[in-house]
Amino acid sequence: MSSRFALRSLRSAGIRSAALPRALAVPSSRGYASQQSPDEKAASLINAVPTSSLWTKTGGVVLGTAVTAAAVSTELYVANEETVLAVGFFIIVAAVGRSIGAPYSSWATGHIDRIKGILNSAREEHTSAITERITSVSALKDVVPLTEQLYAVAKETATLEHENFRLAQESAVKAELKSVLDSWVRFEQQQREAEQVALVASVKAGVEERLADAGFRKQLLEEALGQVEQLSRAKAI
């Protein structure tokens, strides 16, 4: 009796579940250009099983069907309205997933391509920057010998400037000493000239003073006459 009731409920649930997918499939099929064939539907159902081998997928479907039938026949599971609602819900979810799968896949592909483009452009910019840096550094490979040469030239220039400064200082000191010595020589010459002028003036003044004396002139005249007489006697004149 219980088995008959289970079979009746299974049949009624099967009829309801078959009617509900048909009712749901009619509006969904209007959105597609062509309906899938039974072979394609079977292949899609088999591919929906999460395994990699065809035998494993087929065995899983058969095993699931057998377990479901055994559960229904032994009244471990009774198909009711909740089962129909669950099946309809899963069918609606599958239809919605198929309808939004392609746009989401295209959007995800575009987003991934955009991210890849950004990453590739960043990598290219980084590569170009590294290449430019390597090129600039390679251009500076002769900096060390050039710096050594410039250092040698700068050292020689500093030595020459030091020598020029030393010679300039020596020349300046010599010129200063010469000017000081020349000033002393001029001062001494001026002193000598002044002394000579003073001596000449004093001698001249003394002579003029003595000549102004009449007795001295007479004595000088007598001495001059005496010298003339001596010279005449000596026949010098």
pLDDT along the chain (237 residues), means of 10: 41 42 40 56 60 59 70 64 77 81 84 92 92 82 83 93 93 92 92 90 84 80 83 71
Considering the domain architecture, whether residues 31 and 104 belong to the same structural domain is answered as yes
Residue 138: per-residue pLDDT: 79
DSSP 8-state assignment for residue 80 = -
**216 in a structural domain:** yes
Helices 143-211 and 214-233: crossing angle in degrees, nearest 10, is 90
| Predicted pLDDT of residue 141 | 77
Establish if 144 belongs to a structural domain.
Answer: no
Per-residue pLDDT, 72: 63
Nearest to 49 by CA among 39, 37, 59, 36: 59
Is the domain of 169 the same as that of 113? Answer: no
- Residue 32 domain boundaries: 2-136
Residue 141 lies in a domain: no
Of 177, 144, 2, 150, the closest CA to residue 72 belongs to 2
The pLDDT of residue 51: 52
What crossing angle do the helices spanning 38-48 and 54-73 adopt, rounded to 10°? 90
Confidence (pLDDT) at 211: 78
- How many Å apart are CA 190 and CA 170, to the nearest integer? 30
Q: In a 3-state reduction of DSSP, which class is residue 217?
A: helix
Question: Are 83 and 196 part of one and the same domain?
Answer: no
Q: How far is CA 32 from the centre of its chain?
A: 58
- CA torsion sign for 40, 41, 43, 44 is positive
